[in-house]
């Protein structure tokens, strides 16, 4: 019995020493959080235009028919341009009151038409034609989903490379032997700048032609961030 206990104690002691020896030989690490960001200017390649019809009439039925006719006429012209995506926006009507705000004297109705295209000349020409019957609600430019994905894919590689470069700098600053990446998150973002003042400038090439908006889409800054943690191996 005593011999068995001594043998067990010797085995446990040897195992503890081996464990302590292994822990002493294991590399020591310091964890550091890092962030790297890369960005590039990407041309806005998608044009968005909102047009609207707004009328008022004492008879709500006649008013609805009047607005519907204007929108349907514009829809017919817009659908004929295959390069342009057409959709109807919001439509609402509300009462007009007298000076005392007690009696309804008429109704006003507002209906929107939304146009979208990567073909700027085609949409500009169509917009100029539709402005004969509709009013301009707004014009803006953005990056198409396909272009954004392509730019983000290219930036992803640059962001990882920038993170690795920063990790190496941090390792050298600490006097480390090397590092390993513990975690990394990649996130993209786009900054929408105000569209250029020239975007709404109107011109008329001929006296009998419809005015056509001159457009200048500009660019948006697309960024890719690499946030993560590394462990620096110390000597």
**Hey, where are the domains in the chain?**
26-44+144-192+219-235, 46-142
- Domain 26-44+144-192+219-235: which CATH number of 3.30.1380, 1.50.10, 3.30.460, 3.30.110: 3.30.110
Distance CA 73, CA 115 (A): 14
Q: pLDDT tens digits, residue range 17-29?
A: 444 444 445 555 6
Chosen CATH of 46-142 out of 3.40.50.300, 3.40.50.1110, 3.30.70.660, 3.30.70.360: 3.30.70.360
Name, in order, each residue with C-beta under 8 angstroms of 54's C-beta and a sequence gap of 6 or more. 67, 108, 109, 110, 111, 135
* Strand runs labelled E in 98-134: 104-117
Residue 16: what pLDDT?
46
Listed range (77-81, 133-137, 171-175, 207-211) with the worst mean pLDDT: 207-211
pLDDT for 49: 95
**What percent of the residues of the chain are helix, what percent strand, and what percent coil, each to the nearest 5?**
35, 40, 20
Q: For 148-202, write each residue's pLDDT tens digit.
A: 889 999 999 999 999 999 999 999 999 999 999 999 999 988 655 444 433 444 4
């Amino acid at each position: 019995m005593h011999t068995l206990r001594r043998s067990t104690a010797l085995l446990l002691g040897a195992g503890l020493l081996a464990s302590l020896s292994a822990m002493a030989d294991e590399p020591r690490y310091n964890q550091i959080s890092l962030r790297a960001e890369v960005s590039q200017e990407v041309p806005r390649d998608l044009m968005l235009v909102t047009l609207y019809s707004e009328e008022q009439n004492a008879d709500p039925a006649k008013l609805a028919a009047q607005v519907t006719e204007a929108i349907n006429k514009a829809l017919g012209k817009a659908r004929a341009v295959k390069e342009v995506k057409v959709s109807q926006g919001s439509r609402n009507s509300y009462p007009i009151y007298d000076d005392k705000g007690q009696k309804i004297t008429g109704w006003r109705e507002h209906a929107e038409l939304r146009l979208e295209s990567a073909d700027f000349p085609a949409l500009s020409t169509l917009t100029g034609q539709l402005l004969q019957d509709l009013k301009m609600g707004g014009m803006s430019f953005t990056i198409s989903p396909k272009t954004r994905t392509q730019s983000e894919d290219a930036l992803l590689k640059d962001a990882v490379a920038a993170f690795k470069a920063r990790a190496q700098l941090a390792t050298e600053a600490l006097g480390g032997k090397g590092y390993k990446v513990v975690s990394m998150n990649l996130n993209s973002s786009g900054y929408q700048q105000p569209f250029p003042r020239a975007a709404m400038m109107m011109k008329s090439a001929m006296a009998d032609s419809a005015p056509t908006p001159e457009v200048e889409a500009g660019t948006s800054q697309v960024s890719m961030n690499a946030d993560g943690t590394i462990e620096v191996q110390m000597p």
